Structure 1
Amino acid sequence: MLQIFHNNRCGKSRNCLALLESSEKEFEIVSYLTTPPTIDELKAVLQKLNIPPIELIRQKEKIWIENYKEQNFTEQELISIMITNPILIERPILVSEEKAIIAREEAKVIDFLKQ
């Protein structure tokens, strides 16, 4: 079953959800802002995305700029920062059994749903 890491206040996330709903595929909405992923869940998503943690962080968010910008962190520390501050997790993320994408572009979402 597919999962979408969703923030209802984000237009890209709402657009992705609409594409998912019209696809007739079975999916689960992960409200990651109210229920952040565990360390293991976030590591699994990063592995499926095949990116380092820093690439999943929204570096223009106020929390990042005020507290973390221009500091060096280990990958484990970055994962902990995202779990503590889930607003920093890039969105939306579509996750399948095998892989995941940051689903900000409609064409990427459509291609992902075809698989």
Structure 2
Amino acid sequence: MTDDITIYHNPKCGTSRNTLALIRHCGIEPTVIEYLQTPPSRAELQALIARMDCPVREVLRQKGTPYDELDLGNPRWTPDELLDFIAQHPILLNRPIVATPQGVRLCRPSEAVLALLPQPLPSPFTKEDGEVVGIS
């Protein structure tokens, strides 16, 4: 059951893996979109970012992307142009982005996903790096 939760996931990213594991730890099986294999359309990107209520620049990833090569740090690029770049180069989309009925957000750090889930963690969760989430 997906519980209407979608994660735009990159399995090579530790934060993305931890976020997906946190969702599953809560007993939820989300829809997983490996966005590098199945990129969202420009319209889908625009809708996600609008639901996040943030500037397009906030979802741009710099590390390991053509960000510098494309000079995306230059303020001359409009939000529409930045969306075009992300649509052309999905690796520019920072991850993971999680969409739920409670909202959409970039889940960095991974525990940011907890604010979007319909139930709290059932027990503490240990991230890949050994950090424990859910202990008060």
Q: TM-score, normalised by structure 1?
A: 0.90
Counterpart of 2:53 in structure 1 is 50
Higher relative contact order at CA 8 Å, sep ≥6: structure 1 or structure 2? 1
Match in the other structure for 1:103: 107
Cα displacement (A) at 1:99: 1.6
Find the counterpart in structure 1 of residue 78 from structure 2. Answer: 74
Give the paired residue count: 115
Please give the per-residue CA displacement for 1:52-102, whole angstroms capped at 9, x wherever unaligned. 111110133440111223432111110010011111101001101352011
Query: Any gaps of 5 or more consecutive residues in structure 2?
Result: 120-136
Normalising by the residue count of structure 2, what TM-score does the alignment of the two structures yield?
0.77
Structure with more helix by fraction:
1
Which aligned runs of 4 or more in structure 1 are off by greater than 2 angstroms? 59-62, 68-71
Identity value in percent? 34
Alignment gaps of 5+ in structure 1:
none
Cα distance in 1 for residues equivalent to 2:73 and 2:113:
32
